Structure formats: C-alpha cells, structure tokens
C-alpha cells in the first residue's frame, strides 16, 4: 500500500515536470510583446527633423484625427520594404503619419526620404533611442496606431504589410 | 588668507559630497540595470548587453535617476512600457502565485515527510 502511494506520488511529480517542460518547449523563448494593449500616448519633447526646434507631444497630436507613429531608420532594411505602404497610407485623409527617426545619421535619413518619398506629416528625431522607449518600442521598424482619444490602440512590431494596412484602413474608416 | 582656507575647505567638502552622490547613483544604476531584462537578447540583462535597446534603456534609467525617481518607480515605469517580463524579479500577483508558492509548498511537504520519518524511527 505504502509502495503504491510512493509510486503514485512519483508518477504525479514526473507528469507535472513533463507538462512544464513540454509547455516550455512549445513556447518561444524570445520576447513577444503585447500588441493589443490600449495605452495613453507618452508625454515627451522631441526635436523636429527639418528644423532645430523642439516640439511637445501635445502639439504633435493636437488634431482630432487618427495618427500613426512609425519608427524608422535609413539603415533599417525592413523599413525600405514597408515604405511604399506608408506612402499609400499617407494618401488617406483621415490619418496623419508621424515618423520617428531612430538612432540615425541625419544625412542618410534625409537621403532616404529624398529617394523613397516622405509619407510623414512630421518627422521627429530620436537620436539616442529614448523616445522609442517612451513608446514601449524595442526595435525598428515599429508602428503605433493612435485613435482620436489619443490612445495607442494598436502596435505593429516589424514591417507593416498589406494586411496590416487594410486593418488600419478598416479601423479609421 | 583665512578666507582662502575656508573657501578651499568648502570647495573640497562640496566636491567630495558630489563624488559620493555620483558613486551612489552609479551603484543604484547598476543594480537596476542588472535587474532589467534585455528584451532582444537571449537571457542577458541590460547591464550585460551592448545592444541598441540596452543602450537606450541605460540612458533612460540614468535620466530617471537624475530626475530623482526611486528604484521601484523606475521598475514601475519600465513595467508600464514593456510589461512584467522586462524585470527579472517577478512580482507576487495572480499570474505568479504558482511561481512563488510552489517552492514553499514543496519545502513544507518535504519537511513534513522528513518529520514523519524521524518520528517513525523513534
């Protein structure tokens, strides 16, 4: 009877370990950020790309419209891939695109915009990446959709694709 | 001459106190950075990482310390931005009950078994 009980405990313990390790194997061990959490936009002060002036976040997002904040850099290859889609989005009247130039060389960034077009109504400089941290970004490219209540309602990690563009269009409709 | 001496003493005292506060800030900064996970690295803390993400976090932590934020407030700030995962030290909450209480439970069960065995031997 005692042996049976010990065996039962061992079996339960091993099953428990098996389940834990099996779950661990199926879970990716790299960080997967939450992309659907609703958050307020951070308050910050940033330098404009085309002038030496600094601007407050409440001035940037003052219009009663949807905004997209796109974090990009000239050295980022996936940013080039998503750029035509941002150009496509910029034609939409009910949304404004704000670019956050992340840890970039100014001349290279300017050349990037001159070569591929400027989809942004305003570009801000994030020289040291700290502005990206305020948004909760961890890399580049990253795109945030902000609604009329000034809440970040969607976060797209990595380059956007046509499916995401269609999703954004559906939300802002 | 006396005024000069007083001035020198005052200067030395203020310089030393500034150095001491810098040292305290550096220690605090390192403690915090060692407890923050580098989200784009494999099992590294921000302190150990040289990635762009880590260097941005280092700057932010430095800035927050200079703004006068306490260690817990800085963790809270980062939790709000990146979630609980960013901090190595997990909080006791609904999702982490098992994590915190299971070792305690196993310890108690183990202790009870040993206690029972010892009692039986007597």
DSSP A85-132: HHHHHHT-TTEEEEEEEES--HHHHHHHHHHH----SEEEEESSSHHH
A133 Cα to chain B: minimum distance (Å)? 7
Sort out which chain A residues have CB atoms less than 8 A from B60's CB and list them. Answer: 130, 133
B95: helix, coil or strand? helix
A39-78 pLDDT, tens digit each: 888 999 999 998 889 999 999 999 999 999 999 999 999 9
The dihedrals phi and psi of A30, each to the nearest 5 degrees, come to -90, 160
**Per-residue confidence (pLDDT) for residue B20, from 0 to 100:** 63
Q: Quote ipTM for the complex.
A: 0.76
A116-151 pLDDT, tens digit each: 999 999 999 999 999 999 999 988 999 999 999 999
B39 Cα to chain A: minimum distance (Å)? 6
The residue of B42, B53, B88, B112 whose CB has the most chain A CBs within 10 angstroms, and thus the best one to mutate to test that interface, is: B53
Query: Does the CB of A166 have a partner CB in chain B at under 8 Å?
Result: no
Sort out which chain B residues have CB atoms less than 8 A from A31's CB and list them. Answer: 37, 39-40, 85
Confidence (pTM): 0.75
- Decide: residue A17, CB within 10 A, 0-12 exposed, 13-18 middle, 19+ buried: exposed
The residue of A10, A37, A130, A141 whose CB has the most chain B CBs within 10 angstroms, and thus the best one to mutate to test that interface, is: A130
B90 Cα to chain A: minimum distance (Å)? 16
pLDDT at residue A30 above 60? Answer: no
B72-116 pLDDT, tens digit each: 999 999 998 988 889 988 778 777 788 888 889 999 999 999 999
A134 to B81: CB separation less than 8 angstroms, yes or no: yes
Alpha helices by DSSP H, chain B: 2-34, 52-66, 71-82, 97-121
Sort out which chain B residues have CB atoms less than 8 A from A132's CB and list them. Answer: 56
Q: What is the DSSP string of A16-45?
A: HHHHHHHHHHHS-SS-----S--EEPPP-E
């Amino acid at each position: 009877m005692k042996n049976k009980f010990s065996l039962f405990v061992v079996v339960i313990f091993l099953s428990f370990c098996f389940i834990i390790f099996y779950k661990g194997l199926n879970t990716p061990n790299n960080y997967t950020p939450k992309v659907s959490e609703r958050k307020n936009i951070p308050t910050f002060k940033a330098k404009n790309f085309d002038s030496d002036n600094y601007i407050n976040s409440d001035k940037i997002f003052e219009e009663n419209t949807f905004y997209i904040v796109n974090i990009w850099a000239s050295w980022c290859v996936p940013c080039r891939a998503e750029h035509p889609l941002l150009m496509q989005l910029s034609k939409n009247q009910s949304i404004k695109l704000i670019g956050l130039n992340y840890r970039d060389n100014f001349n290279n960034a300017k050349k990037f915009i001159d070569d591929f077009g400027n989809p942004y109504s305003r570009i801000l400089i994030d020289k040291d990446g700290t502005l990206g941290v305020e948004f909760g970004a961890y890399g580049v490219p990253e795109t945030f959709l902000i609604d009329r209540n000034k809440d970040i309602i969607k976060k797209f990690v990595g380059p956007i694709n046509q499916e995401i563009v269609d999703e954004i269009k559906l939300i802002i409709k | 001459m006396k005024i000069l001496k007083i001035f020198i003493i005052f200067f030395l005292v203020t310089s030393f106190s500034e150095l001491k506060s810098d040292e305290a800030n550096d220690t605090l900064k390192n403690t915090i950075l060692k407890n923050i996970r580098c989200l784009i690295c494999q099992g590294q803390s921000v302190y150990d990482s040289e990635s762009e993400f880590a260097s941005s976090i280092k700057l932010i932590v430095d800035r927050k310390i200079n703004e006068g934020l306490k260690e817990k407030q800085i963790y809270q700030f980062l939790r709000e931005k990146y979630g609980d995962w960013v901090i190595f030290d997990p909080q006791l909450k609904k999702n982490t009950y098992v994590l915190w209480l299971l070792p305690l439970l196993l310890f108690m069960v183990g202790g009870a078994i040993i206690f029972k065995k010892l009692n039986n031997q007597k």
